[in-house]
């Protein structure tokens, strides 16, 4: 099983790495948000929070963006494989569909982690700093769990679709509210009760809060509560995705 998962991860990684335009383009939006929000709203945030640095608050949210979009769009590979017949060859191979699903999930998550690490290194150019090595390791755990959750979500949705355009439209409809309501760009404190409740129901909220708590030392819900929440949700979405993938027809 480990060998199968490794092969599927490696195949997905090679396919993505060859697409230089996709690799560079997926970093463009996070960098744009980093510049626009970091320097646009930074002075106002500093005044409102008595000298606090907005870059320190914003950087974990921007790293999350790089992971989020890369991971969730890894589900396109299933639709692509179905269209060109590769999925049928994969499904008739003497391996279980559960192993295929796990391999594709880890493949998408690995690529997303690389994107997140690249974005993390770029935040240093804007003045963001990680306090110590222990914080980095905890941050990497949250980055990985975010990647697993949204890679699993993308594959789950793709398992029920055959049209690439429809897949992209659904994800664009879901992802922007998920991202903006997660507290990635603004604090969750003092929000209207209705918006705060929606934010608490947003899975990404706990990933962002945990990553911010790990890398920046500021957490709204507590790092271990965030870890439990995003970890449980990652297992749940992967289980749901596996059930859907077991019923997929090439």
pLDDT per residue over 105-119, tens digit each? 888 888 889 889 999
Q: Which residue has the higher pLDDT, 43 or 101?
A: 101
d(CA 105, CA 12): 10
Give the model confidence (pLDDT) of 73-83 as tens digits.
Answer: 887 777 777 77
Looking at residue 212, what is its pLDDT? 93
Number of domains in the chain: 1
Whole domain around residue 220: which residue ranges?
2-246
pLDDT at 205: 95
Condensed to tens digits (0 to 9), the pLDDT of residues 122-162 reads 888 888 888 887 788 999 999 999 999 999 998 888 888 77
Give the separation between CA 150 and CA 68, rounded to whole angstroms: 6
Please state the pTM of the whole predicted model.
0.88
Give 36's contacts (C-beta < 8 A, 6+ positions apart): none
Check whether 7 has a pLDDT greater than 60. Answer: no
| Rounded to 5°, angle at Cα 80 from 75 and 86 | 115
């Amino acid at each position: 099983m480990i060998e199968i998962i490794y092969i599927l991860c490696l195949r997905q990684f090679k396919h993505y790495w060859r697409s230089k335009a996709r690799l560079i383009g997926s970093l463009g939006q996070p960098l744009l948000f980093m510049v626009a929000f970091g320097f646009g709203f930074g002075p106002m945030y500093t005044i409102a929070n008595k000298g606090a640095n907005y870059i320190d608050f914003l950087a974990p949210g921007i790293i999350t963006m790089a992971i989020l979009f890369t991971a969730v769009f890894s589900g396109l590979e299933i639709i692509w494989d179905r269209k060109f017949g590769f999925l049928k060859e994969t499904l008739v191979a003497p391996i279980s569909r559960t192993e295929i699903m796990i391999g594709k999930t880890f493949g998408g998550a690995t690529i997303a982690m690389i994107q997140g690490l690249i974005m993390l290194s770029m935040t240093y150019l804007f003045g963001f700093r990680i306090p110590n090595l222990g914080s980095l390791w905890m941050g990497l755990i949250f980055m990985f769990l975010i990647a697993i959750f949204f890679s699993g979500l993308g594959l789950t949705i793709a398992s029920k679709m055959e049209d690439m355009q429809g897949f992209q439209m659904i994800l664009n409809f879901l992802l922007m509210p998920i991202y903006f309501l997660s507290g990635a760009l603004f604090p969750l404190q003092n929000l209207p009760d209705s918006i705060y409740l929606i934010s608490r129901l947003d899975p990404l909220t706990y990933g962002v809060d945990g990553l911010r708590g790990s890398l920046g030392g500021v957490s709204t819900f507590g790092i271990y509560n965030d870890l439990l929440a995003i970890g449980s949700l990652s297992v749940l979405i992967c289980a749901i995705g596996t059930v859907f993938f077991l019923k997929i027809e090439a």
